[in-house]
Structure 1
Amino acid sequence: MVTKNIVCPVCGASCDDIQVELEGQGLTVRNACKMGNAKFQEVVSPHRIREPLVRVDGDLRRASWDEAIEMTARILATSERPLLFMGSETSTEAMEVGIHMAEFLGGIADSNSTVCHGPTTMGIQETGRVGATAGQSKSRADLTVYWGSNPLESMPRHMSRYAVYPRGYWTQRGRFDRTVICVDP
């Protein structure tokens, strides 16, 4: 089974051209960087918990999917204000389901972005900032400065999709129309 045009959940570059093929017990991942590939390979990892566990009288035990779903539904239905916390590497589709669940239950949807990116966003809102979309950067930027980050380590495909190699309206020669500076002490 091949699934195409998956949005990679890893670094924030939102690479949306990922293809994943499930072959028996293995996966073949195309168009992903090493971080994206590693993330998708977790699906078939032998270390992944593959069956539900429920806590009964303080002890974890294996359960059927029906039992685990019923127990989870009962806990959610009787909660007064549940928190659905979604990790930063959760797919956008899974986050959408989590947000709908939180709204339906009268709960709270949160993620690590409130403590990580949230303060930055609040500062930008309070002080104002000049910004650009990835598409604008691709078409216009003749200089890319990676300040305090190494794109090869943190966002491997950022350079090929947006900031260095792609050709844009004013950067028709791609890399040859750009200067790249990396400040990563």
Structure 2
Amino acid sequence: MCRRLELLPTTCLERAKELRALFASLIQKPDQSITGQPKKTDKLRLNGDEPLKWRESFDKLLSSQNGLCLFRDFLVSEFSEENLDFYLACEDYRATKTSKLSDKAKNIYDEFICSDAPREVNIDHVTKTITKDSIEQPSQSCFDMAQAKIYALMEKDSYPRFLKTATYLQPIRKAKTG
């Protein structure tokens, strides 16, 4: 690895980071292939009004396994699935036994928050610093601020766009005609 990365223009480093995250997501998610092979979402069986409930609130979308699957597929298409993965990792972390908090907190921080994280989420410097400080003495709530920021980002940005996509609208049309 090059010892003088800091001499490269910032745009080169940012692009390299994006490519690394993209390749990591492709390696970790073989079911979401770019080769045209079927994805899990191609086989979903939705009951009639389930997709209609997702429009009511972002929480209803997240609480539905089918909704979560379709929303993840949408985020993959936008190269932002790390937001949902981070949110879900935080939910899982909250249910972790106290004896395992330290290791799990470090893994989440290293994967999603630190500045060279392979799947870095977009949070401000203050939130990063507070989160870094809080994992020194891990508790179930040490990711709460970062998770809330990512939740708000998805709810205000990705979720409204998702509701306008064919991925979402097609099951709605089927429910109305079927």
Q: Going by fraction, where is strand more abundant, 1 or 2? A: 1
Q: Going by fraction, where is helix more abundant, 1 or 2? A: 2
Max Rg structure: 1
Q: Using CA pairs under 8 Å that are at least 6 residues apart, name the structure with larger relative contact order, 1 or 2.
A: 2
Shorter-chain TM-score: what band? Answer: under 0.3
